[in-house]
Structure 1
């Protein structure tokens, strides 16, 4: 599926790339990938029994509705991703989340919480409000990450120069 949650024509792709401020939904063996997560947060949602998963690459902890960039803010991205995953066949009672990212890429000592910290907090809060449990996470630090989600296995693979490859 593409970032509008609509199926691609023809055979399913091997991979759906999710850009900054976008989300995507896939089924079966089709992988969802995103890269360049610094202070941004990646939110993966899945119904493991239905082989359906989604991935959002959210930039900001809050913000106005932005139709052109459906996952610009964490709350907007999570809500739209949740609706798309349910539309693709996920049972709302079985959906769970995994999150990654939210790094402190620049040191603004003495300024308080960075955008990455606030993105992670917004993801946890929005998911809790939606009744979606967070079952795994790889957040914080000062390094970037790339993500890959496999709906069939409900594996979130996090790759970074800091930790190599970690499966959640």
Structure 2
């Protein structure tokens, strides 16, 4: 008795890579880069859309503290620099690189503090990217709520989720 093989109709789910606080990752194709817990931290997504390669950093501080404890994206300046270097090493062209941002919320109301960490993180991220001629093409920043993000390099889709605003594709 012969047994016919059944065709498989289920697609394999894409690989998911979790990017922790003060970490970064670069991927290509259908791989999904994710991070959660973006309060005052900023999720910095960069991509060369033509090459289909993208990266995600979860930066937590506007300025370097001198002690990154092995965390490549602890500060904005170092995180952006390393993220762009890894994107180029993975085949991204710096001339075609663009960015999307999420996070930078003011999660707590501290009386007497003029600028919160979230706002400074966003401002420093914009400066670090502008200094490297990387345009910010979309963003979902500010507010007083947390976010989670998913980045798909193949489509350059940056999906931002929050309980306050729902889901938005940047």
Same fold at TM > 0.5? yes
User: Which residues of structure 1 form unaligned runs of 5+?
Assistant: 1-12
Q: Report the counterpart of residue 87 of structure 1 in structure 2.
A: 89
Q: Report the counterpart of residue 43 of structure 2 in structure 1.
A: 42
List 4+ stretches of structure 1 deviating above 4 A: none
Structure exhibiting the larger radius of gyration computed from Cα positions: 2
SS at match of 1:33: strand
Supply the RMSD in Å over aligned alpha carbons.
1.0
2:154 to 132, 152, 155: 152
Give the structure-2-normalised TM-score. 0.90
The 2-side partners of 1:120 and 1:109 are apart by 21
Q: Report the counterpart of residue 124 of structure 1 in structure 2.
A: 126
Distance of aligned partners of 1:145 and 1:47 in 2 relative to their CA distance in 1, 3 Å threshold: same
Count of residues in Structure 1 that have an aligned counterpart in Structure 2: 156
- Structure 1 position 109, deviation (Å): 3.1
Give the structure-1-normalised TM-score. 0.91
The 8 Å contact of residues 65 and 76 in structure 1, kept in 2 or not, is answered as: no
Note the 1:1-168 alignment, pairs <5 A: 14-63=15-64, 64=66, 66=68, 68-168=70-170
- Structure 1 position 111, deviation (Å): 1.3
The 2-side partners of 1:92 and 1:33 are apart by 23
**CA deviation vs aligned residue, 1:123-143 (integer Å, no higher than 9, x gap):** 000000011000000000000
- Structure 1 position 66, deviation (Å): 2.4
The 2-side partners of 1:66 and 1:108 are apart by 26
